[in-house]
Structure 1
Amino acid sequence: MIPVSCGEIAEVVGGELVGAEPTAVVDGAVVVDSRKAGPGGLFVALPGERVDGHDFVAAATAAGATVSLTTRPVDGSPCIVVGDAQRALGDLARYVVAKLPDLTVIALTGSSGKTSTKDLIAQVIRPYGETVSPEGSFNNEIGHPLTALQATGSTKYLIAEMGVRSLGDITYLAGITPPAIGLVLNVGTSHIGKLGSQDNIALAKGELIEAVRAGGTAILNADDDRVAGMRGRTREKVLTFGEAAEAEVRATELKIDGEGRPTFTLHVGAGSAADDQPAFSTSVSLRFIGEHYVSNALAAAAVGVALGLTPEQIAAGLNAATPLSAARMELTERPDGVTIINDAFNANPESTRAALKSLAAIGRSRGARTWAVLGEMLELGDTSTAEHDAIGRLAVRLDVNRLVTVGAGAKPIHLGASLEGSWGNESAYVETIPDALALLRSELRAGDVVLVKSSKAAKLRSLADALLEDVQ
C-alpha cells in the first residue's frame, strides 16, 4: 500500500481516531486476518461467522500494525473507529487507487472461469509491468479492496476479479477500481438462485461494461449471445474473443492431447479495438487441463491486445503459463497409477459439464476407466433438481465408467444417470464424504482416472486431499 497517515485515513473513511496518532503512517499490508498483520500495516476488524475481529486487534497491534479499523474502541490499541468497517475498507481502497493515476485496472467477471482467467492474464502481462493480482478468488466486497490496496506507486497493472450475487454488486466494486479494461467471460447459471434468471445474471455482469472508463476497452465473448449483447452498454472500444468467425481474437484447429491439454491456432485480426494489430496467427499449447481453458486463454489474449502487447508476446505468455490456483482441474498421478483430478474448489452446471468432458477425453486417450465423484452445485434455486439431473445424464452420454454422487443435495445426479442409462452399479449414491472415500478405496485400481468436483460448501476438496494422501 502507498503510505497514508492515520489522520488521512480517518478523514477518508469518516472515522474517529482513538489512541492513534494522526501523523502515524500506514505503509504495510492491509489485512483482515491478524495472523498476517505486520509492521506498518492496517488491521480491519470484521465480524465473522464464528469470531469477531475485535478480539484480535491486540494481536495485530503486537505484530506491529500501525492502527486497526474498528467499529468500537479497543483498550490498548490505536484504532480508527467507524460505523461499518467493511464499507470503510472499500472507501480506503477507492481513495488509494485514485491516487495512482498511472495504474491500469483490468477487471473481469463471468459465471465461470474468472480465477483461472485472472491467473492467465497475470502471467501474460507481468513481464511488461509490475502486476497485482488477487489471491485465490478474492472477488467480493472484502477481497476486492484488499487486492486493490496492494497496489503501490510502482504498480503498472491491477487485475480485479469481480463476483456477483445481486444487482449493483459490480457497480460497487468497479467504483472502487474504475476499469480501463472490462472483460465479461460468460453468463451461465451460477448464482441463479440469488438473481432469479440468466437475463438478470447478464444484467448484473454487464454492469462491468458500463463501468469501463473513457478511452478504455470492453472485451466480450463472441460465443456467448448474452455477453455479445452487452456491446450496446458502452460507448468505448469493444474487442471480441471466441471461436466464432467474427471474433477479433479467436481460436481454430483445436486439439486435445492425451492429458486433456488443448492446442490451438491463435488468430489476432483487425477489428474495432485491434485495428492497430496486423493479422497474425500462431500455435498455442496450454499447460491447463480442459477444452474450456481455450476460451479463458482467448480472453487473456484479448487483454494483451487491448494493452498493446504484440501477438508474439501474448502467445509466449500463454505457452509458458501454468496453473496457479489449487483445486481447479489439478491433475496428480499417484504412485500406484491412479490419477486424481481435483476440481473441487467450486462448481456450477457449466464448469461441471466442462470437467466431465475433460475427464471423458482423458479416459478415451488413455483407454482408462473413469470415475466422476460429484457433490452438490449450490445457489441454483428452483433449477437445482433439473440441473443436477442433467449432469447425471451427461455423465452417461459421455461414457464415464463410474459415477459416485455425494450428499442429499446432489442426489438428482445419481437419479438422472440411473434413468438415462439404466445403469446398475455404475452409479452409486452415498450420504457422506467418508462413505465415498470408503467406496473409492475399495474399488480404485491402477490406471483409473478420478474427477472430484463440487461447490466449495459441499467440501469434496477434502475427499480429493484424502485420496492423494492415501499413497504418500
Structure 2
Amino acid sequence: MIALTLREIADAVGGALVLRGADASPDTTVDGTVTTDSREIAPGDVFFAKRGEFDDGHRFAPAAAQQGAALLVVEHELDLDVPQIVVDDSVIALGALATSVVARVRAAGDLKIVGVTGSNGKTTTKNLLRAVLERVGPTVAARASYNNEVGGPITMLALEADTKYLVAEMGASGVGEIARLVRMARPDIGIVLKVGLAHAGEFGGIEQTVRAKSEMVTDLLPSDVAVLNVDDPRVAPMAALTKARVLTFGLGANADVRATDVVVHARGTEFTVHVPGGESASVRFGVLGEHHVMNALATVAASVELGVGLSDVVAALESVTLAERWRMQVMGGRDGITVINDAYNASPDSMSAALKTLAQVKAPGTRTIAVLGEMSELGEFSGEEHDRIGLLAVRLGVSQLVVVGQGARRLHITAINEGSWDGESAFVETSDEAYELVVASARPGDTVLVKSSNAAGLRHLGDRLGEWFS
C-alpha cells in the first residue's frame, strides 16, 4: 500500500483512531500490506478484522498483533497494544480505504485501470493482461480469484505510487456488487467476457445475471472504453447501456478484434488475431482450450487500447502456458496418459468447453475419460444443465465417464439412458473411489479430464491423478 498516516487512514474509512503503543501518533506512517488473514501478517502490515459467516476476524487480531501488525481496523476496541481504527463495518471500511488509495495514486501519476468481469474467464483474462502489462510498466493484478467485496479492495490496496496498471477482476453473486467495485476502481477500460448460468441460482435467474454483469460498463465515462464480447448475445447489447466508446472482440467478421484460422491441439491453440487498422499476427497460444481464445482476444483489445504494440502483446500471450492452477492444467505423461485438471470451477459453459477440448485434443485411436462433479449454484437450472452435459459427453463420444457425488448423479443417469452410446458411465460417491477407478482402468494414450465446481473438491483428485501418471 502507498504510505499513509494513521490519521489519513482513519479519515478515509470514517473511523475513530485509538492510539495504542508507546510510539504511536496520528502522524505515524503505515505502508504495509493490507489483509483480512492474520496468517499473512508481517511486520508493518494492516489487519482488517472481518466478521464472516462462520467466524469472527476479531478472534485473530491478537495473532496479527503478535506477528507485527502496524494497525488493526476493528469494529470494537480490543485490549491490544497496537494502534486501532474502530469502524461500524470493516468490509465497508476496506472498500473506502481502497477507493481513497486508488484516487490518490491516479491523481499523482498516470495509473490506468482495467476491470474484468464475466461468468467465465475472468481469472484467465486477468492473468493474461498481467503478463502483457507487466512488460511495459509496474502492474498490480489480483492473485487467484480475489474478485469480491473483500478480494477486490485488497487487490486495489496493493497499489504503489509508481504503479502504472491495475487489473481488477470483478465477480459477484448478486446485483449491485460489481457496481460497488467499479465505484472503487473507476476503470478506464471495462471488459465483459461472457454471461452464462454460472451462479445463476444466487443471482435469481439469467436476467439478473445480465443486469449484474452490465454494471461493468453502465457507469463508464465517454472517455473510457467498453470491451465487449460481440459473439455473446447477452453481452453485445450492453453497447447500448454505456456512454463509453465500444470495442468488440469475437470470432465473427463483425468483431473489431477477432481471431481466424483457429486450430486446437494438445499443446494449445493457434490462431491469427486481427486488430483495428488492418494489422494481424499469428499466435501460438499455449493455454489449452479453444474457449480461451476469447480471453486472449479480450486481452489483445484492452492492451492495444492502452498503447501496447501488437507484437509485444503476442509475445506475452505466447509466454503463458497455464492460465492458473487447476484451470486446464496439463499433467501426467507416463505411458502417454495425459491428465487435464480443470476442476477449479465449473459452469455449463465451461463444462461444455472442457469436454469439447477433450474431444479435440485426443490422438486418433486413443480413449478419453471424463471425471465430472457437480456444477453448483445453478438453482432451478441445475437438473436440466446436468442433463445437457450428460448428453454432450455422449455425443462427443467420451469413452469413459466417471461421475462423482450425488450432486452430479443426474448427469450419470442421463448419459446411461442414451442407448446409442458406445462408451460407459460409472457413478461413485467420493474422490477416492474415482481415483481408484481411473487408476485401474486407464490405458496407455488415454486423455483424462477432471472437471467440477470448486465446492466438489475434484481439483485435488486431478492433482493425485496427475502425480500418479507423471
Give the TM-score category using the shorter length.
over 0.9
Greater displacement, 322-331 / 342-351:
322-331
Residue 140 in 1 paired to residue 148 in 2? Answer: yes
Deviates more, 1:292-301 or 1:39-48: 39-48
Q: Could you say what secondary structure the match of 1:128 adopts?
A: coil
Q: Partner amino acid for 2:33?
A: A
CA contact (8 A) 2:332 2:467 kept: no
Counterpart of 1:372, as a letter, is: A
Instruction: Quote the offset at 1:52 in angstroms.
Output: 2.5
- The one-letter amino acid paired with 2:99 is R
In structure 1, the residue matched to 2:401 is 403
Q: CA deviation at 1:62?
A: 2.2
Following TM superposition, by how much is the alpha carbon of 1:81 offset from its aligned partner in structure 2, in angstroms?
1.3
Asked if 1:299 is matched to 2:298, the reply is yes
Structure 1 residues 81-90 or 15-24, which shifts more? 15-24
**Which of 234, 253, 259 is the equivalent residue of 1:245?**
253
Which residue number corresponds to residue 44 of structure 1? 48
TM-score (norm 2): 0.95
Q: Could you tell me which residue of structure 1 aligns to residue 228 of structure 2?
A: 220
Partner residue, 1:369:
367
2:216 corresponds to: 208
Q: CA deviation at 1:48?
A: 3.5
Is 1:268 aligned to 2:275, yes or no? yes
In structure 2, list runs of 5 or more residues that go unmatched. Answer: none
> What is the root-mean-square deviation in Å for CA atoms of aligned residues?
1.6
Instruction: Judge conservation of contact 1:19–1:78 (CA < 8 Å) in 2.
Output: yes
Counterpart of 2:453 in structure 1 is: 455
Instruction: Tell me the residue number matched to 2:79.
Output: 75
CA displacement 1:138-196 (0-9 Å, x = unmatched): 00000000000001111000000111211111111101100100000011111111223
Q: CA deviation at 1:336?
A: 4.5
| 1:311 aligned partner | 310
CA distance in 2, matches of 1:49, 1:421: 46
2 CA distance for matches of 1:429 and 1:321? 36
Q: Does 1:188 align with 2:196?
A: yes
2:59 to 43, 55, 66: 55
Residue identity in the other structure for 1:315:
V
2:101 aligns with one of 93, 96, 103:
96
Aligned to 2:379: 381
1:239–1:302 Cα contact (<8 Å) kept: yes
Among candidates 167, 171, 187, match of residue 175 of structure 2: 167
CA distance in 2, matches of 1:433, 1:333: 18
Q: 2:263 aligns with which of 249, 252, 255?
A: 255
Task: Give the CA deviation at 1:78.
Answer: 2.5
Q: Structure 1, residues 194-236: CA drift from partner, whole Å, max 9, x if none?
A: 2233222111111111122341101011111211100111122
Q: What is the percentage of aligned positions where both structures have the same residue?
A: 47
Show the counterpart of 1:12.
Answer: 12
Secondary structure at 1:225 match in 2: coil
Tell me which moved more, 259-268 or 425-434. Answer: 425-434
Segment of structure 1 superposing worse, 112-121 or 52-61? 52-61
Once the two structures are overlaid, the 10-residue window that deviates more, 415-424 or 130-139, is 415-424
Tell me how far 1:50 sits from its aligned partner: 4.5
Kept in 2: contact 1:418–1:424 (CA 8 A) = no
Single out whichever of 330-339 and 120-129 deviates more from structure 2: 330-339
Q: Which amino acid aligns with 1:154?
A: D
One of 389, 392, 414 as aligned partner of 2:390: 392
Give the Å deviation of 1:419.
1.9
- Is the contact between residue 371 and residue 403 of structure 2 (CA under 8 Å) also seen in structure 1? yes
Counterpart code for 1:347: A
| C-alpha distance in 2 between matches for 1:243 and 1:323 | 22
What is the one-letter code of the residue matched to 2:163? Answer: T
State whether residues 374 and 453 of structure 2, in contact with CA within 8 Å, keep that contact through their aligned partners in structure 1. Answer: yes
Aligned equivalent of 2:33 = 29
Contact 1:331/1:341 (<8 A) preserved:
yes
Contact 2:195–2:234 at 8 Å: present in 1 too?
yes
Superposition map of 1:419-430 within 5 A: 419-421=417-419, 423=421, 426-430=424-428
Structure 2 counterpart of 1:65? 69
Q: Which amino acid aligns with 1:186?
A: K
Q: Which residue of 1 aligns with 2:133?
A: 125
Distance in 2 (alpha carbons) for counterparts of 1:216 and 1:428 = 51
Which residue is equivalent to 2:288?
Answer: 289
Q: What TM-score do you get using the length of structure 1 for normalisation?
A: 0.95
1:14 shift after superposition: 1.7
Aligned-partner residue type, residue 351 of structure 2: T
Structure 2 distance, partners of 1:236, 1:41, is 38
Q: Secondary structure at the match of 1:428?
A: strand
Following TM superposition, by how much is the alpha carbon of 1:36 offset from its aligned partner in structure 2, in angstroms? 1.3
Q: Is the 8 A contact 1:344 1:460 kept in 2?
A: yes
Tell me the CA shift for residue 13 of structure 1.
1.2
How many residues align? The count is 462
Pick closer, same or farther for the CA change 1:4–1:366 going to 2, 3 Å. Answer: farther
Q: Deviations over 1:4-62 (max 9, x none)?
A: 11111112212122234322221010011112112221011112455422122122222
**Deviations along 1:399-433, whole A, 9 cap, x unmatched?**
11000111111011111111224558710111122
Report the Cα distance in structure 2 between the residues aligned to 1:106 and 1:306, rounded to whole angstroms. Answer: 11
**Aligned residue type for 1:108:** V
Question: How far apart in 1 are the matches of 2:150 and 2:374?
Answer: 26
Structure 1 match to 2:324: 325
CA contact (8 A) 2:332 2:468 kept: no
The AA in structure 1 aligned to 2:350 is S
Give runs of aligned pairs for residues 143-154 of structure 1, distance below 5 A: 143-154=151-162
Structure-1 separation of matches of 2:380 and 2:366: 36
Which residue of structure 2 aligns with residue 274 of structure 1?
Answer: none
1:358 Cα shift?
Answer: 0.6
What is the letter of the counterpart of residue 284 of structure 1?
V
